[in-house]
Chains A and B, each alone.
Chain A
Amino acid sequence: GKERTTSGEGRERKAGPAALGLVRRTDRVVSGSHLAPLLGLTDPGFSDCPDLKMSRVTTALGGSVLTGRTMHCHLDAPANAISVCRDAAQVVVAGRSIFKIYAIEEEQFVEKLNLRVGRKPSLNLSCADVVWHQMDENLLATAATNGVVVTWNLGRPSRNKQDQLFTEHKRTVNKVCFHPTEAHVLLSGSQDGFMKCFDLRRKDSVSTFSGEATEAGQGTPREWVMTGCCVLRLHPSFAHGFLWRLYVAAPWGTLPSGCSKGAPRQSESVRDVQFSIRDYFTFASTFENGNVQLWDIRRPDRCERMFTAHNGPVFCCDWHPEDRGWLATGGRDKMVKVWDMTTHRAKEMHCVQTIASVARVKWRPECRHHLATCSMMVDHNIYVWDVRRPFVPAAMFEEHRDVTTGIAWRHPHDPSFLLSGSKDSSLCQHLFRDASQPVERANPEGLCYGLFGDLAFAAKESLVAAESGRKPYTGDRRHPIFFKRKLDPAEPFAGLASSALSVFETEPGGGAMRWFVDTAERYALAGRPLAELCDHNAKVARELGRNQVAQTWTMLRTIYCSPGLLPTANLSHSMGKGGSCGLQLMNSFNLKDMAPGLGSETRLDRSKGDARSDTVLLDSSATLITNEDNEETEGSDVPADYLLGDVEGEDDELYLLDPEHTHPEEPECVLLQEAFPLRHEIVDTPPGPEHLQDKADSPHVSGSEADVASLAPVDSSFSLLSVSHALYDSRLPPDFFSVLVRDMLHFYAEQGDVQMAVSVLIVLGERVRKDIDEQTQEHWYTSYIDLLQRFRLWNVSNEVVKLSTSRAVSCLNQASTTLHVNCSHCKRPMSSRGWVCDRCHRCASMCAVCHHVVKGLFVWCQGCSHGGHLQHIMKWLEGSSHCPAGCGHLCEYS
């Protein structure tokens, strides 16, 4: 454990034990076995530190082990900055009215020292920043809001520990920074646009750097006098102290700088200055104009490099503790950027997007890609990011109730303890294992059932790739497979996430809906004899591989179209089901001997309708005929009588009629032929007496009114159906199957096949309707119509609406007509339902005669658009042809 390889140990070795002003606590040292959980080793989310082993930690911490818990203590005032002593056991908190040192104990913070002494603390004590020297435990520096830089020596015996005072800056000093390895060098950056380097053994700054300086090799060269400096360049491995003495000894007055020579222009404010940890002479500074400058401490005349890092002020920067050239910067543009400064031009390596402006950034020890940030406003949380995963913070500390102003890792080699100070006047120690991890909360998968039963599923790709080991893009153009990003096997990183999104196709059992569309399009619901419909639909179902459904249709046919009933069913079926149009249409053909031309034309329309090509035409023609037909049916009983006569007495005549019904183009004619032989058996069955009664009743049933008394509540055509039932009833009760059919419909509905339920409902019409309560029917109808519309099967949906018997459903077709009305005064659309226009606050439709609001019929002249109550206008126009509004228009109402 004595082998030390990192720079931190080097520093540690240098610090003399004599320099310790405060006794180092040893009771905090515990055995390594307690350490593992504390360091967050069990965190699954932080595989970034896979080599974080107990032994390593112990080594890194030089034999002492940190213990502690998440804790906080109340401060008397808001903190502006914090800094940790190199022993990791004390923290200094500084603010406008606070400057205290706390000991970090296992269970709590204990106030050790108040550095704000004196009755009336001067403005020098109003601290914007504080830094504790990482080599000398007695040495601190503060930056005051009045531009003063103060150093503090804790080793002073007096109560006042103030050591030196530098009053060179004109405005607030935003940042102070000790050289990481050089004991006496302090750097400051101020709002006044200058950075100053102090040698603590001198009373003044040794050099001044101006943000205005031009980049090396650019701009107009000035007169440089470089006495002394060249010596420094010769051999950087010289003993540091010696070098600095040399440097200090140089004639400073001769060194040009933006401030000492020429009129200083208004410089951009310096927000942060940081010595490079690895490069002895280098420091970085950040500016309010978005620039970052890289300086060689020996060359105050010009910066080595300058580039624009952010859009807006760059509030902070931090050098990577291990990666020599990496600099992280944070800005008001809410971004943290990681730059590689070793290349000729600063190269942006990573960019993290936070949700608020970035006030502080600190690399996490021992975790190459982690850094902590806190923000300047809005967001009070502290985040730890993995720079390779720039969108989601790896960890989040939510303890503070106000803006976090200072963050510091407790020990340069310990990744689990983070300290923070806040405007909410509290000081916190955060433990990594207690951090909330947004990634853990985040949903790594997206899942959606598509309309057609396809599944869209997005999942973390890393997992996927590992599991399936499937080959990347194989060149199959038909089903291209892309990967967003190939995982680099050289750098396994579980936290790095990209997702693969796939769309899966499921088969019918899995929810695929292709069958639904096909079925909806091909089913015949009306316009043909029941048997035909059943057969047709069974065929459709069978062709789509839906055997159970096909079987159901066949059964229905058997149940409701038993041989003897067939002819009756033919006619009555279409009536019962078609309700308002389809069946009566057919009736009219037969009964009234319409011209064959018209008949066939209508039939054509019907079949077109089935094919869903020409609804409008179909609708209009069908409706027309229906209307006529209705009138006639209602007007005289003759047709019905005629029909009934046929049914009773002469089946043969019906046979003759049938071929006329059947359109030659229809493929289903085959089915009809099949039906013939079956019929013959029934001929022998004598019609029952009830049948006669029914028949006698039927003519009295009016076309549209429901007849509660009879079995046929809806229309006259239904009576025919009851007749046929009667025929059959001699052997089976009328409701024999109805329970079964009802259960069957419910079954299908529950299976999610509301299509089947509705289709059967329509096809069977009155045969089953009475067995199922209105509400359920309505629900099925609306569900089915919704589904059809989702699949954009507008024609089918329209047909279903038309064929439905539920009033709530059938009125859907009349529901979607909207009239848009504009105000007659301001010409703007009338948004509300009232009579007053929202915009011009006038009544929109005033009668030009009586000057009252017209709430009913409004008649107006299309020429001048004046008008009013119909009665008033009519009356007015009897006496005058001029507009009643007095506009002079000669109105014409026709």
Chain B
Amino acid sequence: MVSVINTVDTSHEDMIHDAQMDYYGTRLATCSSDRSVKIFDVRNGGQILIADLRGHEGPVWQVAWAHPMYGNILASCSYDRKVIIWREENGTWEKSHEHAGHDSSVNSVCWAPHDYGLILACGSSDGAISLLTYTGEGQWEVKKINNAHTIGCNAVSWAPAVVPGSLVDQPSGQKPNYIKKFASGGCDNLIKLWKEEEDGQWKEEQKLEAHSDWVRDVAWAPSIGLPTSTIASCSQDGRVFIWTCDDASGNTWSPKLLHKFNDVVWHVSWSITANILAVSGGDNKVTLWKESVDGQWVCISDVNKGQGSMSASVTEGQQNEQ
């Protein structure tokens, strides 16, 4: 049920650390230890190199696409302690901004939902999370949360703009007063949820404890018709948790163990409709998970990186879909 469409020849000279598709699914950005960020056009199974962005002085860990309403913007973060925001102007990609506000490797970048404007969250090994807000005319305002995670922050992920419960007090039709939130995961084995206060300061709202080793990735599920907030997290300890919050206040989060893998789990990624979770682990496998009717997470398939074809285990969850 999963087949290789395409093996992209990235020509990266070292390990690739991240690959991200843009909003429309037509372009793929990759970044590598070789300090470069590359952008490919992958429409119709093609793979045309559009840009090779050089500017970092160390391995580039992560890339993130901004919402296209702001133009073609890509953020990258690197071991060189810098975050670079790249912008396409008249067909050429150029460095538009460089943020050097961290004292150590910057491990993760994530753009806020477009409703908030152009805001970028950056998590660093120095334990801080910085938030860059575009204020117009090439200016970026920086807010920094120091000591967000002791030893370091590995991942950041924004909550979708529509948080259930946030609309309660809003008369329908009026622009809701969004509450900005994001989740972060770090070397202190914690997942933390951050919320912007009315005075514009960021405050730790929740501390989610379940992992017993570094949290490697967090992914807040897109809110597509779902009544609950959901966060997926994975860790060095091999475990993947699904955190859900049903109450409107957003204070009670309950973890559910999706699976315990035998190796480090590096990434979790939600499908666009938030009903399927892709998990990639140290054994170089990607597994797809889906919640069945009775609330259990079942593996609906796994992609063994090399093989291309995969064992399709049709399960209950999948049948429901079809």
Interface residues of A (CB under 8 A from B): 334, 353, 355, 389-392, 438, 441-460, 463-465, 467-470, 479-482, 484, 497-511, 513, 545-548, 746, 748-754, 757, 774-776, 778-780, 782-784, 786-787, 790-792, 806-808, 811, 831
- Set A446, A754, A806, A807: member contacting B16, Cβ < 8 A: A446
Tell whether B80 is near chain A: CB-to-CB under 8 Å. yes
Tell me if B267 and A446 are in contact (CB < 8 A): yes
CA distance in complex: A548, B322 (Å): 6
CB of B273 within 8 A of CB of A501, answer: no
Rounded to whole angstroms, the CA-CA distance of A166 and B216 in the bound complex is 59
Contacting residues of chain B (2-42) with chain A, CB-CB under 8 angstroms: 2-21, 23-25, 28, 30-35, 42
Q: How far is the CB of B313 from chain A (nearest CB, A)?
A: 10
**Are B267 and A467 in contact (CB-based, < 8 A)?**
no
Q: Is the CB of B225 within 8 A of A458?
A: no
Instruction: Jot down 25 A-B pairs with beta carbons below 8 A, ordered by A.
Output: A391-B13, A391-B34, A438-B79, A442-B61, A445-B17, A446-B18, A446-B31, A447-B280, A448-B28, A449-B269, A451-B272, A454-B21, A459-B280, A467-B304, A498-B15, A501-B8, A503-B45, A504-B5, A509-B317, A511-B272, A511-B273, A775-B167, A775-B168, A780-B225, A808-B172
B interface vs A, CB < 8 Å?
Answer: 1-21, 23-25, 28, 30-35, 42, 45, 57-59, 61-62, 79-81, 105, 125, 136-137, 162, 164, 167-168, 172-174, 216, 223-227, 266-276, 278, 280, 282, 284, 286, 288, 290, 300-301, 303-308, 314, 317-318, 320-322
Q: Is the CB of A446 within 8 A of B30?
A: yes
CB–CB A754/B2 < 8 A: no
Asked whether, in the complex, the Cβ of B272 is within 8 Å of the Cβ of A458, the reply is no
Contact between chains at B322 and A508 (CB < 8 Å): yes
Choose one: A449, A498, A513; the contact of B278 (CB below 8 Å). Answer: A449
In Å, the complex CA distance between A454 and B278 comes to 11
Q: Are A443 and B35 in contact (CB under 8 A)?
A: no
Contacts A442-B59, A451-B23, A808-B173; A776 near B227 (Cβ below 8 A): yes
Q: Is the CB of B172 within 8 A of A831?
A: no
> Could you tell me if B223 and A453 are in contact, using CB atoms closer than 8 angstroms?
no
Beyond A482-B9, A502-B8, whether A470 also contacts B271 by CB under 8 A is: no
A465 to B304 alpha-carbon distance, docked (Å): 12
Known A-B contacts: A503-B45, A779-B164. Give 19 more (CB < 8 A): A355-B80, A445-B280, A447-B267, A447-B269, A449-B269, A449-B271, A468-B304, A479-B5, A509-B318, A509-B321, A510-B2, A751-B275, A752-B273, A779-B167, A779-B225, A790-B25, A806-B172, A811-B173, A831-B136
B-chain residues with CB within 8 Å of residue A510 when the two chains form the complex: 1-2, 276, 288, 300-301
Q: Are A452 and B25 in contact (CB under 8 A)?
A: yes
With A438-B79, A751-B275, A792-B24 given, is the CB distance from A502 to B32 under 8 Å?
Answer: no
Chain A residues within 8 Å of B269, by CB: 447-449, 455
Q: For B9, what are the chain A residues with a Cβ–Cβ distance below 8 Å?
A: 480, 482, 484
User: Would you give the shortest CB distance from A238 to chain B, in whole angstroms?
Assistant: 48
- Contact between A355 and B8 (Cβ–Cβ < 8 Å)? no
CA distance A41 to B129 in the complex (A): 36
Contact of A447 among B19, B275, B276, B308 (CB under 8 A): B19
Pick the contact of A460: B167, B172, B276, B284 (CB < 8 A).
B284
Tell me which of A390, A504, A775, A787 contacts B224 (CB under 8 A): A787
In the complex, what's the smallest C-beta–C-beta distance from B257 to chain A, in angstroms? 20
How far does the alpha carbon of A753 sit from the alpha carbon of B274 in the complex, in Å?
10
Chain B residue with the shortest CB-CB distance to A778: B172
A500–B225 alpha-carbon span in the complex (Å): 35
- Cβ 8 A contact of A464, one of B21, B62, B290, B305: B305
Q: Which of B32, B216, B305, B322 contacts A467 (CB 8 A)?
A: B305
* Bound CA span A807–B321, Å: 31
Docked CA distance A502–B310 (Å): 14
| Beta-carbon contact of B58 and A391 below 8 Å | yes
B57 pairs with A355, CB closer than 8 A = yes
Contacts of B167 in A (CB 8 A): 775, 778-779
- The answer to whether A504 touches B3, judged by C-beta atoms less than 8 angstroms apart, is yes
Tell me the complex Cα distance, A749–B273, Å: 9
Q: How far is the CB of A323 from chain B (nearest CB, A)?
A: 23
CB distance from B224 to the nearest CB of A (A): 5
Bound Cα distance A452, B25 (Å): 7
- Chain B proximity of A542: nearest CB distance (Å): 12
B28 nearest in chain A by CB position: A456
Question: Min CB distance, B173 to chain A, in Å?
Answer: 4
A621 to B267, CA, bound (A): 51
B286 A505 Cβ-Cβ under 8 A: no
* Given A391-B35, A500-B305, residue A807 in contact with residue B173 (CB < 8 A): yes
Select B284's contact among A334, A463, A548, A774, beta carbons within 8 Å.
A463
User: How far in angstroms is the closest Cβ of chain B from A565?
Assistant: 30
Given contacts A447-B267, A503-B28, A503-B42, contact A442 B5 (CB under 8 A): no
Interchain CA distance A510-B315 in the complex, whole Å: 11
Q: Is the CB of A457 within 8 A of B280?
A: yes
B10 vs chain A, min Cβ distance (A): 5
CA–CA, A757 to B224, complex, Å?
A: 11
7 smallest beta-carbon distances between A and B, as pairs:
A468-B306, A451-B25, A752-B275, A752-B273, A749-B225, A482-B9, A754-B225
CA distance A786 to B226 in the complex (A): 14
Nearest CB in chain B to that of A511: its residue = B271
CA distance A757 to B303 in the complex (A): 31
- CB-CB < 8 A to A806: which residues of B? 172-173
Are A442 and B172 neighbours in the complex by a CB distance under 8 Å?
A: no
Contact indicator A754/B224 (Cβ below 8 Å)? yes
Closest partner residue, chain A, to B40 (CB atom): A501
Q: Is the CB of B16 within 8 A of A447?
A: no
Verify B58–A443 contact, CB threshold 8 A: no
**What's the least CB distance linking A373 to chain B, in Å?**
14
How distant is B87 from chain A, measured CB to nearest CB, in Å? 19
Contact B35 A457 (CB under 8 A): no
In the complex with contacts A752-B276, A779-B225, A787-B224, A479-B300 CB distance below 8 A: no
State in angstroms the CA–CA spacing of A561 and B318 once bound together: 31
CA distance A459 to B18 in the complex (A): 9
Cβ–Cβ contact B173 & A457, under 8 A: no
Which residues of the partner chain B approach A454 to less than 8 Å between Cβ atoms?
Answer: 5, 21, 25
| A residues less than 8 Å from B32 (CB atoms) | 391, 499
Q: Which residues of B contact A449 (CB under 8 A)?
A: 21, 269-272, 276, 278
A811 to B33, CA, bound (A): 47
Nearest B-chain residue to A775, judged by Cβ: B167
- How many angstroms from the CA of A881 to the CA of B77 in the assembled complex? 63
A774 to B266, CA, bound (A): 39
- Given A355-B80, A470-B307, A501-B30, A448:B58 Cβ within 8 A: no
* Residue of B28, B272, B318 touching A513 (CB-CB under 8 A): B272
Within 8 Å by CB of B227, from A392, A467, A750, lies A750
A445-B280, A455-B303 are known contacts. Are A507 and B1 too (CB-CB below 8 A)? yes
Report the minimum CB–CB distance from A772 to chain B (whole Å): 12
For the complex, give the distance between the alpha carbons of A775 and B169 in Å: 11
Tell me, in angstroms, the Cα distance from A779 to B42 when the chains sit together. Answer: 31
Known: A446-B18, A446-B267. A479 touches B305 (CB 8 A): no
Closest to A758 in B: B225
In the bound complex, how far is the Cα of B226 from the Cα of A445, in angstroms?
29
> Residues of A contacting B288 with CB < 8 Å?
506, 510-511
Is A450 a contact of B21 with CB atoms below 8 Å?
Answer: yes
Residue of B nearest to A779 (CB): B162
The answer to whether A391 touches B33, judged by C-beta atoms less than 8 angstroms apart, is yes
Contacts of A504 in B (CB 8 A): 2-5, 286, 303, 308
CA distance A787 to B24 in the complex (A): 10
Residues of A within 8 A of B58 (CB): 353, 355, 391
Cα distance A547–B318 in the bound complex, in angstroms: 13
